[in-house]
Amino acid sequence: MLKKALMVSAALGMGLGFAQQKVEIEFWSWYLSPKFDNYLKDTIKDFEAKNPNITVKWFDKQDTMVQDLIASINLGKAPDVVNLNIPDTFSAAQNGFLTDISTLTPMSELKGQFWDNPLNNFTVNGKPYGYPWYGWLNEGVMVYNSDLVKKAGYSEKTLPKTNDQLLAFAKRVKDRTGQYGWIPNFIDASGAPLWHGFFYADGLPIYDEKTGKAQFTSSKHVALLKKYVDMYKAGYFPEDMLRKEAFQLSMELYNQGKLATIVGGPQSLTRIKDANKDLYGKTRVAEAPLGKSGRSTGGGMDLVIPAASKHKKEAAMFAEFLSNNVNQMKFAKIVAIVPTSKGAEKDPFFKQESNDPIIQASGMVGASGRYIDPGFNPPKNSSVLYKNLVDNLEAAFLGKKTPKQALDDAATFWNANVNK
């Protein structure tokens, strides 16, 4: 009897021994299937060929990603590599869900693989929590409808170069053509504020990252907000900008010929090409106008390793592989992303001459990974603060509060809740 038990446990022990040799890690991407199935499958195959002891099980998660991650942690079955964006990485790291990746990949190696700016995008309280993956610039290019722009009396050379000129442009396009010139980013798809990015673009501070206190109540801040509010009240921006994400709204109106420009990444061009071939023929690209600071903010995706992962070492190897320059460049050739890896800027792919707007735009922004500027990082308790900021900005746009009152109220709420 005892002998039998011993034999069983020995067999079990051997089984475990074998299982340890072959490690299976789970990788979650976000909204990449089915469009990029081939790219991801090939890259995974490549990784497995180089690391015969590791197999990668890939899932593409979509709108329930965060909930699924929380549930899987609860069940003790956390994935090992997860693709998050900047705000989610911040709140996940602030609440202790993620692994400090410098404990897995030495800082020197991280700095060798990525530019500082993208790496800083995922650095929370001085520690890196994500391998930067593909990125984008918020003010990457200006896509424009050449017919409308001409009708408004602009030529390629007189297009706006600064945010102030862009406001004047939006006014003139509306006055002369009856269509909108441009739509500022007010909220993102989740309802979080984007408009305060215009403060940053003009070199004005948002909050003190050390104390968490709001810094957006100066007379310069008020004057800037007022400019936009006045434009909105005079009907130069569509009402829907307060309710809908700017990118979605811009696509809707641009494709109907009711909007002259979209300032953003090259991804809008693919959408225009799919939706309206004629319009795509009239679409051109130009350098995006910038604020007084001359900085173009941007964002990006990363690969994080949950604190609950059971195979952190292998997870780090895979995350590093997927985000290296070779694999990011392969990705950039399929879709207009901005690689965040060092060396991408020298790739001949970004130096092609072409008349096609998509290729032109990819070239203009593709090589600029090192300039991706995080702007400012999400504060602690960001969901509550952001909701209140949007509410106050909205009250200013709708004329319920003066710009000064709105910013003062938002700052009071911010200071009372940031460290809660």
Partner 1 sequence: MQNKTRTALIAYAFLAPALILLAVFTFYPVIYGSYLGFTEYKAAQFAAGEAPRFIGVQNFIALFQDELFLKGLWNSIKYIAIVPALQIAALAIAVAVNRKLPFMAFFRAAYYVPVITSIATAAVMWDWIFQKEGTLNWVLQGLHIINSNSAFGWLNNEHTAIWALMLVTFWRGFGYYMVLYMGGLQAVPEEVEEAAYLDGATPFQTFWLVIVPMMRPTLLLCSLLSTFAAIRVLDEVVALTPGGGPLNSTYTALMYVYQKAFDGFNFDYGMASAAGLIIAVIGIGLSIVQFRLNREGEERA
Residues forming contacts to partner 1 in the complex (CB under 8 A) are 66-67, 70, 73-74, 87-88, 91-92, 94-97, 187, 189-191, 239-240, 242-244, 307, 381-384, 387-388, 390-391, 394-395, 398, 400
Query: Computed over its alpha carbons, how large is the radius of gyration of the chain?
Result: 24
Whichever of 368 and 388 has its CB closer to partner 1, that residue is: 388
Q: How far is the CB of 381 from partner 1 (least distance, A)?
A: 7
CA distances from 73 to 66, 68, 302, 309, 408 (A): 11, 9, 19, 9, 40
How do 261-264 and 54-61 pair as beta strands?
unpaired
Give the distance from CA 13 to its chain's centroid: 46
Whichever of 1 and 75 has its CB closer to partner 1, that residue is: 75
Whichever of 3 and 420 has its CB closer to partner 1, that residue is: 420
The full DSSP string for 90-129 is HHHHHTT-B--GGGTS-HHHHHHHB-HHHHHHTEETTEE-
Q: How far is the CB of 154 from partner 1 (least distance, A)?
A: 25
Q: How many CA atoms lie within 13 A of 304 on its CB side?
A: 33
The beta-strand segments (E) located in 227-358 are 261-264, 283-287, 298-304
Taking the C-alpha atoms of residue 4 and residue 389, their distance in angstroms, rounded to an integer, is 68
Contacts (Cβ under 8 Å, ≥6 apart) of 49: none
The full DSSP string for 374-402 is --SPPPTTHHHHHHHHHHHHHHHHTTSS-
Whichever of 335 and 384 has its CB closer to partner 1, that residue is: 384
Whichever of 43 and 91 has its CB closer to partner 1, that residue is: 91
Q: How far is the CB of 390 from partner 1 (least distance, A)?
A: 6
Q: How far is the CB of 308 from partner 1 (least distance, A)?
A: 8
Strand partners, 29: 60
Whichever of 168 and 189 has its CB closer to partner 1, that residue is: 189
Q: How far is the CB of 64 from partner 1 (least distance, A)?
A: 9
Q: How far is the CB of 389 from partner 1 (least distance, A)?
A: 11
Whichever of 89 and 296 has its CB closer to partner 1, that residue is: 89
Q: How far is the CB of 415 from partner 1 (least distance, A)?
A: 16
Alpha helices in 125-257 (DSSP H): 146-151, 163-177, 197-201, 219-233, 246-255
Find out whether 173 and 179 touch, Cβ atoms under 8 Å.
yes
Q: How far is the CB of 239 from partner 1 (least distance, A)?
A: 4
Q: How far is the CB of 248 from partner 1 (least distance, A)?
A: 10
Whichever of 9 and 248 has its CB closer to partner 1, that residue is: 248
Copy the structure tokens of residue 92.
């996940």
Whichever of 325 and 382 has its CB closer to partner 1, that residue is: 382
Taking the C-alpha atoms of residue 335 and residue 134, their distance in angstroms, rounded to an integer, is 10
